[in-house]
Structure 1
Amino acid sequence: MPWFKRKKAGILTTRKEQNEVPEGQWVKCPKTGEIINRRELEDNLLVFPSSGYHFGMSSGRYFNFLFNDGEYELHDTDLMSVDRLDFEDRKPYDQRLKKAREKTGQNDAARSATGEMGSHEVSMACMDFSFIGGSMGSVVGETIARAIKRAYTREIPLVIISQSGGARMMEGALSLMQMAKTSAHLARLDDAGLPYISVLTHPTTGGVTASFSMLGDIHIAEPEALIGFAGPRVIRETIGSDLPEGFQRSEFLLKQGFVDMVVDRRRLRQRIIHLFDLLMDDR
């Protein structure tokens, strides 16, 4: 009944979230309701041409369009998570891992690679939201830590692309330890004077935001990405009031100085190359 509903109530009026492209030959834009052929959407890097809505994208797709000619070398492909804590919920953790591997064809929620971007050799790690919500467990933390170590060992710049719901609760304290480990490796990268560009996509939340995602030299966010530690619902219930319009979205955080720039995915590669041209000039 409309008489006891508010028309505008902060986070209550935000559009329905959708991180992955729905199945089928035709795709509907969640923002405008327009329809587009899937092939045209994929040719546009999963960005809806008219509205600019960014669908979620896999690590493989990011690697393919960011590295020169889509050529790169994958690393750490032998790492796999195990149920060390014997975690039991409605569905045992080992079964969830098995299902996620079958769904994505990947071992876990992050992959690392090296390749060239423009004239620069780059170490890159990218998360996958489709694998248990991009949650960070031991393997994700180790994959990212090794990507960082590869950067300062080879004396090359680093890019990390984040899309995650936070630490993986099924691994308990083991997942929280990854925050300290990745941060320690980033301190060594900083000591080496090498640049780290952090790309924040939708969503970047929880322990990922609280660790490596917000420790970059430059933070680039994709448009309308949800970025924050706790979710809007938790914050709203904690403070007991509505939140500002667009709270925790890329554009709002840009105004607050939380991110350095908001960049359309279609221009992301050239922007990163340009930044590395400037940051690596003296090397």
Structure 2
Amino acid sequence: MNSQSPETGVAQAQGEGQGSVRAVDVSQFHAPYLGAFNIIFFSAWVSVCSAAPEFIWQGLLTIVHHFNWVTAASAMLVGAIVAFFVEPLTERLRAMSLHVAHRHRTPTHATVAAFGFAVLAVCVHEAITSFVATSSSEHRAEDSLFYALSEVFQWASIPFTVTVAWLCVGHSRRVSWAALLLAAFMLFSLGPLSSWPVQDSITTVIPCAFILFWGWAVMHKYPTQLALSRCAKLTAITACIWLLVAGLFQLTLWRFASHDWHFYSWMEYTIDFRFYLGWVIGLAVAPRPVAHQHH
């Protein structure tokens, strides 16, 4: 048996206590930063998804208008490399094993599925590249990348700040209200700052304000995981109701007023449809952050 004096035991106990206090302090020091990173990455995931459908659509239109067999052969070649080399290698690196069972029943099924998704991915890449590389009538070719990035920022900034406001509900009241005010400021100022027409600003503010404040109230009532699922549903419901009401209003204007009067043009209407579709997809597929608890 090891003998020790009372003073030694007290000193060790104090040392262990101090060590445990230090461990708790380190954990409490890192937890807010980890929570902040989770909020930022989740919100970025959602915001990129909100902008993605419009980029893909515009890029696909560009490819269709400039389609040739060289483009098709390039997609097939790169798709084959991705399907038969990159994808299997990536799966084995993830599992850290050379023996990874395919989820498909037969080699034919695996080949068709992998090749199909790979060609689709290549087409999406070509679509976005074409959209960025093709200068519009209002921009020089060297400014097209900046134009594309500014478009992404405009489409993605509202879902980003709205999602940040939702996820900050579980934090202190000061942080929660600051995030809400930032989202509201972005929502109401983006149109004037980006020189949007008045109609575009109105058709953005009305539905997005409903989504922001309705989702903020939901985040107060339910745990984070359940609340985010409900926020995805309420975003979809708000978008559907808004597009239906706004579409009927525009049809009424065309029926009983001059065709020069428009609340929504067809192009703006379809852009908003793809925007809300991407927003809902982002909320549905993004990995959910862990709720931050305060003590």
* TM-score normalised by L of structure 2: 0.26
Higher relative strand content: 1
In our comparison, the structure showing a higher alpha carbon Rg is 2
Higher relative helix content: 2
* TM-score normalised by L of structure 1: 0.26
Structure of greater relative contact order (alpha carbons < 8 Å, 6+ residues apart): 2
